[in-house]
Amino acid sequence: MNPILKCKTFKGHEAEASWQAGLKLAIRDSKQLLELLELELEDEPFRNPLEQSVEVRTSIQDHAHFPLFVTREYVRRMQIGDWNDPLLRQVWVDARERIEQAGFVADPVGDGESEIAPGLLQKYSGRVLLVMTGACAIHCRYCFRRHYPYSTGPRTLSDWQAALDRIETDRSIKEVILSGGDPLTIVDSTLAQLVSRLDEIEHLERLRIHTRLPVVLPQRVDRGLLNWLGSTRLSKWVVVHINHAQEIDHHVQDAMTRLRSTGATVLNQAVLLREINDTVEIQETLCKRLLQNSVIPYYLNQLDPVQGAAHFETEIATGKMIVRELAKRLPGYGVPRFVQEQPGQPNKIRID
């Protein structure tokens, strides 16, 4: 079947057929989420962590900036009645976020220092990253940019002029990465114009998109997106973000097929998360599901120490053990590199 036509048939979910409608209908209220999942707040496992430790200081202000937010499409893949569902745990705001832990900071990856023009980051040779928006279709509680000062960045196409000029004058830049937040929360007309500007910069060779929308809102991969992505002269790389095989349903599978129909190579990065995906079996199942869909497991990231996410951290030894074990079970291209971002380094550091 033509994958582009298939995306029009979201049976039974007419209201969410467009991605904009899906965003509007996303869940922002914890009571509503619990109702959908048939869960009772009084059974929540992490209600009172502060009672368990008298030493912690707490900061509550952060919740207002990064509230609960998750699409219905993603919620539908959660298990009813399971507080420990690996998808629920990625989005549920629990009290442990208020624990301030030494070493867990607002900007763990040194984004601020690598800004070379408004919204344009360069840390590594040959590639630059555009922080295009703060908006996402899901709020992952462990997000390393959860405290990023997006509101000060460029908004309209003309705000991006300084960044485009900078890219144009530096012939060593071969790749532009659209990132955020999630760049695919931006409308296609704007993205199409930006990409056509990039097309005109002769020394550019590659376009990369870092996005979670094909996973949490698969109808985002619609005709409008396929049109501009399919028509750029740049080689196309889409890096999605899937942490657990349960996140991949047939809508996501179809979205991956549609992305690849533009000639894009689709890669995945996952974050290693305590009690969510920190076993060999879970990672093996994830990698196999990705490979079934021609998605290459690219990076397995050690958690960046962002304030409020300390309870997701795993031991480095756990990640090492997992990827070594995966290497025995999967083809070489099916084993992700276990990496960590270390501020000031010339690349992401392999720690496997």
Ligand X SMILES: *Cc1c(COP(=O)(O)O)cnc(C)c1O
Angle between helices 188-200 and 223-231 (to 10 degrees): 0
Residue 328: CB atoms within 10 A of its CB come to: 9
Binding residue (CB under 6 A) for ligand X from 117, 129, 178, 326: 129
Omega prior to 181 cis, within 30 of 0: yes
Count the site residues for ligand SF4 by CB under 6 A: 11
β-strand partners of 105 = 306
198 binds, among ligand SF4, ligand X, none (CB under 5 to 8 A by kind): none
Tell me the residue type at 180: G
HSE-CB of 149 using CA atoms within 13 angstroms: 9
140 forms part of the interface with ligand SF4 (CB under 6 A): yes
- Whether 93 contacts 141, CB under 8 Å: yes
123 forms part of the interface with ligand X (CB under 6 A): yes
121 forms part of the interface with ligand X (CB under 6 A): yes
> CA 294, 299, 300, 306 torsion: positive or negative?
negative
139 forms part of the interface with ligand SF4 (CB under 6 A): yes
Angle between helices 188-200 and 161-169 (to 10 degrees): 20
Binding residue (CB under 6 A) for ligand SF4 from 16, 182, 188, 254: 182
Binding residue (CB under 6 A) for ligand SF4 from 136, 226, 242, 252: 136
Give the shortest CB-47-to-ligand X separation in angstroms.
Answer: 35
How far is residue 72's CA from residue 151's CA, in Å, rounded to a whole number? 26
Binding residue (CB under 6 A) for ligand X from 127, 155, 274, 288: 127
How far is residue 150's CA from residue 185's CA, in Å, rounded to a whole number? 14
Binding residue (CB under 6 A) for ligand X from 249, 320, 348, 352: 348
The smaller minimum CB distance to ligand X, of residues 219 and 269, is found at 269
124 forms part of the interface with ligand X (CB under 6 A): yes
124 binds, among ligand SF4, ligand X, none (CB under 5 to 8 A by kind): ligand X
The smaller minimum CB distance to ligand X, of residues 131 and 273, is found at 131
- Whether 293 contacts 336, CB under 8 Å: no
Contacts to ligand SF4 by CB under 6 A: 136, 138-140, 143, 145, 180-182, 212, 241
Contacts to ligand X by CB under 6 A: 114, 121, 123-124, 127, 129, 177, 347-348
